[in-house]
């Protein structure tokens, strides 16, 4: 959530941010500012009436003359009635403004390129060596099916569209991926957590997934939602708290299943286990003191952690700077990492790394006391360490052999008792 004072003083910048993120249909900044002006005018009237009501009460208690006292009581009654009416109007207006504020997106950083879709994203660099097969590489589904380690057909029978089973070596390899990622992020000083998978709606609002992405989340009969990333639980961990600046940065990493309805992806990646409704992810979240330079420093640092994982795995990848139209509503700046898929002869998105400044913290009322004793909102960041089976699919394709077997990446061999599958 943006500070309403910032919106008042930077209306053109905020409106441009709304337009650049293609969110004009969700919020009207001019209307918000109009309601805000009405609210402040009404608030002044309420405060004046409250002051008058208190003064009349004080005067009545001091006056003994019956006639004068009766006149003041009558006036006080009128003021009380008027105040009650104004307070009700104020409350209605406040609710309306608060609801609109939830739809105001974060303003993109100055170096974020404009673009209406993924076509506007900018490739910053590529890393790793693309495998040069002297045979036509198979896709991960063909490999997984032939090796008897991925079963999509029965997954769909049991769980419906975009469901799957991982069997034997595929499951062990995925567990090795997750374990290696946890070991790496733990070595960077992160606390590792198993997080709630069902979370109250206010924390989806707090992290910026609601109201924009509500349709893409599964809801329970109790009104909670299933997380699409551990970011929701991790970022909300200190919601409503006032931290000490000396405790920052706070570095949290969570492992969890993730659930996404994949609204808007109809017809995309319907084959295999690349885009699925349920997957497992290791996510990292950092809470920082205020300061965009510090957030940008950590943004790049967290990107490096994900790159370390991919370099350990020997997977080729590219780093992409996301454009305005392909970012989330709450993100200030976002990198994606795309990993190479030989069967498609292209890079596909496997990681996301974002910073928010105080956008999420304002929604979560998550603050800290600085060295001077002033209360400020923390700044937040999050990043994918690993997500599988998407990366598992990339390993199957990049480590395949001509005879249809799959080699195990060297770094994962210590977690499993086999060196190849098949």
Instruction: Find all residues with CB under 8 Å of 84, minimum gap 6, and list them.
Output: none
Query: Measured between alpha carbons, how far is 400 from 138 in angstroms, rounded to an integer?
Result: 8
261 is known as an active-site residue: no
Contact yes or no for 355/295 (Cβ under 8 A)? yes
Hey, what's the torsion of the CAs at 113, 116, 117, 119, to 10 degrees?
Answer: -60
- DSSP state letters, 173-232: HHHHHHHHHHHHHHHTT-EEEE--SEE-HHHHHHHT-TTTTGGGS-B-TTS-EE-SSTHH
Which helix or strand (DSSP H or E) is residue 97 part of? helix 66-101
Residue closest to 366 by CA, chosen among 192, 241, 197, 202? 241
Query: Measured between alpha carbons, how far is 337 from 350 in angstroms, rounded to an integer?
Result: 6
- Count CB neighbours of 51 within 10 A: 11
343 is known as an active-site residue: no
Record the tokens describing residue 179, joined without a space.
């374990």
Query: Measured between alpha carbons, how far is 275 from 265 in angstroms, rounded to an integer?
Result: 9
Bond preceding residue 249 cis, omega within 30 of 0: yes
- Count CB neighbours of 231 within 10 A: 29
Record the tokens describing residue 152, joined without a space.
């999509």
307 is known as an active-site residue: no
**Which of 181, 256, 295, 352 does the annotation list as catalytic?**
352
**Which of 142, 172, 283, 349 does the annotation list as catalytic?**
349
**Which of 169, 256, 260, 283 does the annotation list as catalytic?**
260
Record the tokens describing residue 203, joined without a space.
């924390």
246 is known as an active-site residue: no
**Which of 8, 275, 348, 376 does the annotation list as catalytic?**
275
CA distances from residue 212 to 27, 130, 206, 216 in whole angstroms, order as listed:
11, 37, 12, 9
The CB-based long-range contact list for 405-411 (8 Å cut-off, 24+ gap) reads 405/147, 406/143, 406/147, 408/173, 409/312, 409/313, 409/314, 410/314, 411/180, 411/312, 411/313, 411/314
352 is known as an active-site residue: yes
**Which of 332, 362, 363, 390 does the annotation list as catalytic?**
390
Block residue for tokens 């999050």 = 382
- The residues that are catalytic are 260, 275, 349, 352, 390
């Amino acid at each position: 959530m943006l500070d309403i004072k910032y919106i008042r003083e930077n209306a053109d910048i905020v409106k441009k941010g709304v337009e650049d993120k293609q969110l004009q249909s969700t919020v009207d900044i001019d209307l918000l500012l109009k309601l805000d002006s009405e609210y402040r005018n009404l608030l002044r009237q309420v405060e004046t009436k409250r002051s008058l009501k208190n003064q009349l009460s004080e005067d009545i208690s001091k006056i003994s003359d019956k006639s004068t006292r009766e006149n003041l009581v009558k006036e006080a009654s009128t003021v009380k009635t008027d105040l009650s009416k104004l307070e009700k109007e104020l409350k209605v207006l406040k609710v309306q403004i608060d609801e609109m504020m939830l739809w105001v997106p974060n303003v993109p950083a100055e170096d974020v390129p404009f673009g209406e879709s993924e076509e506007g994203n900018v490739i910053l660099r590529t890393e790793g060596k693309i495998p040069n097969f002297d045979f036509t590489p198979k896709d991960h589904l063909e490999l997984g099916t032939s090796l008897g380690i991925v079963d999509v057909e029965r997954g769909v029978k049991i769980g419906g569209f975009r469901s799957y089973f991982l069997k034997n070596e595929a499951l062990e390899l995925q567990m090795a991926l997750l374990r290696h990622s946890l070991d790496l992020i733990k070595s960077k000083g992160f606390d590792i957590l198993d997080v709630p998978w069902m979370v109250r709606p206010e924390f989806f609002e707090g992290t910026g997934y609601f109201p924009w992405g509500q349709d893409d989340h599964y809801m329970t009969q109790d009104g909670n939602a299933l997380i699409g990333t551990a970011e929701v639980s991790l970022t909300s961990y200190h919601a409503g708290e006032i931290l000490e600046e000396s405790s920052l940065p706070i570095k949290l990493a969570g492992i969890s299943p993730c659930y996404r309805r994949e609204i808007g992806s109809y017809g995309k990646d319907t084959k295999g286990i690349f885009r699925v409704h349920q997957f497992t992810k290791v996510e990292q979240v950092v809470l920082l003191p205020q300061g965009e330079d510090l957030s940008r420093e950590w943004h790049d640092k967290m990107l490096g952690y994900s790159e370390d994982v991919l370099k350990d795995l020997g997977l080729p990848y590219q780093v992409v700077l996301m454009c305005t139209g392909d970012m989330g509503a709450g993100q200030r700046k976002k990198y994606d990492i795309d990993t190479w898929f030989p069967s498609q002869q292209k890079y596909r998105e496997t990681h996301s790394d974002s910073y928010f400044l105080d956008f999420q913290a304002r929604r979560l009322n998550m603050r800290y006391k600085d060295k001077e004793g002033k209360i400020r909102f923390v700044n937040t960041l999050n990043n994918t360490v690993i997500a599988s089976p998407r990366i598992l699919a990339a390993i199957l394709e990049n480590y395949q052999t001509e005879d249809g077997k799959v080699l195990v990446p060297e770094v994962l061999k210590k977690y499993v008792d086999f060196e190849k599958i098949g």
